[in-house]
Amino acid sequence: MDDTTKQNQLLDQTPQQSGEINTTTSGIAMEKINLNSTQEATKEQKEIEEGVSPAPSVLSPLMDILNVLKKKVIVIVAVVVGLFLLYAIIAFAIDAMSTKAAPPIKEVEEPEQTTEKPPVEEIPDFYQVINKQYEFEFEYPNEAKYFENNPYSLDPSTYKVVFSKENPNTDTLDETNIVDGYMFRLVVDKAPLTKDLTKLAEDKQLVFKAKCQESVEISKPESTKITGFDAIQFSITNCYGGDYVQTFVNREDFVFDVTRFVVGDLGFKQRYQATVNNIYNDFKFTNTIEPSPVTTWVEYVAKSKIVAFKHPSYDANCCDISGPIKLNPQKEPTKLVVLADPNTVDENNKGKPFNGFGIYLENVGSTGFNEYLEQQKQALKENYRIIIGRNPNSRETKVLIDGREAILLENYAWWADVIVIPPAEKELETILIFKTEIAESAFDETFREILNTMIINPR
């Protein structure tokens, strides 16, 4: 009985036997398959060695398929690798060519687009006061305010620097209403009753004793100097909470009364005291050694000999300034001269304001000066209303021209300030001076100095 017959007999056994030896049968079957495979392989090898073509086996087609698949996979992998390498070579070549061909790109910095801001006005640490009328100057800090009163007046002229925490912007501030701050005040007395500095100091001390409480302390007057001029000063402590230093100095025909005042808590008071002392130490008289600029000015004398003065070579031919309102159709005011600072004249627009003044004469006739003045004031204000479209905020001040009382009319004429000089006794011609300027106060100092040289009816 061969192996095949034995295998068939085993398969024909009863189910019970088969179930009992199920595992064993599976193992035997696997061994049988392996044995058959081995025998067939040995048989094929033997036939090959003997030169006989082996009979085809059951696994040969499967092996052929696997071999074919292996070859295809190898080919596909080779193709993919080749394509990748080719792509890499081409990409490298293109990059190299583009690097050579293309010039280097220069980065252009675009200007930053910024919104243009309006210029900010720089606030100086100190402001300077230069007064040519009474020839002095000083500086004061920007925290304080500066005020002038009666610069033209017959009354004493006041120049004041004030700082107050509570109310910093009013010209009414002085030692009576500052509760935390300081004041530097200069009063120019143009017609003093006495020029004896010691007598002036003693009289002022009596004033302080009368207005201060009993605890006030007043020092003895001491001699000092300001820019080489003799002066006298004394101090006042604890006068209603404030401290003073009072100084008198005499220069030519004027007496200068200088007041330093501080009030506040101890720490602040010390700081205020240092500030006003700095202003005082900076104060000085000018034109004390060099000759006054007035000595180099040009003299003007009217043909009628009614007025004469000096000016800094102003132009008498370039410009014009309107004069008084014509009150009498039969009478025309007489224009003596119009002078202009050439540095302020716009050659392309002669109608623009400039620094200068015009002098006119008008006969007041039988109506008299006072009646003429009132009529002129009303006419000027009416003209102001028509041109500007509102009522003027007019002001009238008495001033001194060559020792004679005159009237300054501010905000009466819309184009200028007016000084009216009454006619001398038994005369009928009044002098009217119309002052214009490019900006407020731009011409004040020079104009005052010109007025100081003016002579009425020179002989």
Angle at 154 between CA 152 and CA 157, to 5 degrees: 60
Name the residue type at position 151: P
More confident residue, 217 or 46: 217
Q: What is the 3-state secondary structure (H, E, C) of 284-319?
A: EECCCCCCCHHHHCEEEECCCCCEEEEECCCECCCC
Going through 132-228 in order, the beta strands assigned E by DSSP cover 136-141, 145-149, 157-164, 181-189, 217-218, 222-226
Any idea which residue has 């006005």 for tokens? 121
d(CA 126, CA 124): 5
d(CA 422, CA 418): 13
Nearest to 308 by CA among 421, 433, 446, 458: 458
**For 115-167, what is each residue's pLDDT tens digit?**
555 554 455 688 989 887 788 999 999 999 999 887 767 778 899 999 998 77
Interval 185-213: pLDDT, tens: 999 998 788 889 999 999 999 999 998 88
Of 191 and 182, more confident: 182
> What residue ranges define each of the domains in the chain, with the CATH number in brackets?
126-285 (3.40.1000.10), 293-456 (3.40.1000)
Please tell me the distance from the alpha carbon of residue 372 to that of residue 429, in angstroms, as a whole number. Answer: 11
* 234 or 79, higher pLDDT: 234
Dihedral, CA of residue 269, residue 275, residue 280 and residue 284, to nearest 10: -170
Residue 357 has pLDDT above 90, yes or no: yes
Instruction: Report, as an integer, the average pLDDT of 269-276.
Output: 93
Quote the pLDDT of residue 25: 44
Q: What is the pTM of this model?
A: 0.50
Residue scoring higher pLDDT (128 or 84)? 128
Q: Does residue 234 sit in helix, strand or coil? A: strand
Question: Which residue is associated with the tokens 């008299």?
Answer: 368
Q: Residue-wise over 382-408: b if at least 16 C-beta within 10 A, else e?
A: ebbeeeeeeebeeeebebbbbeeebbb
> Which one, of 248, 256, 260, 251, lies nearest residue 197 by Cα?
248
At 452, list the tokens.
């100081």
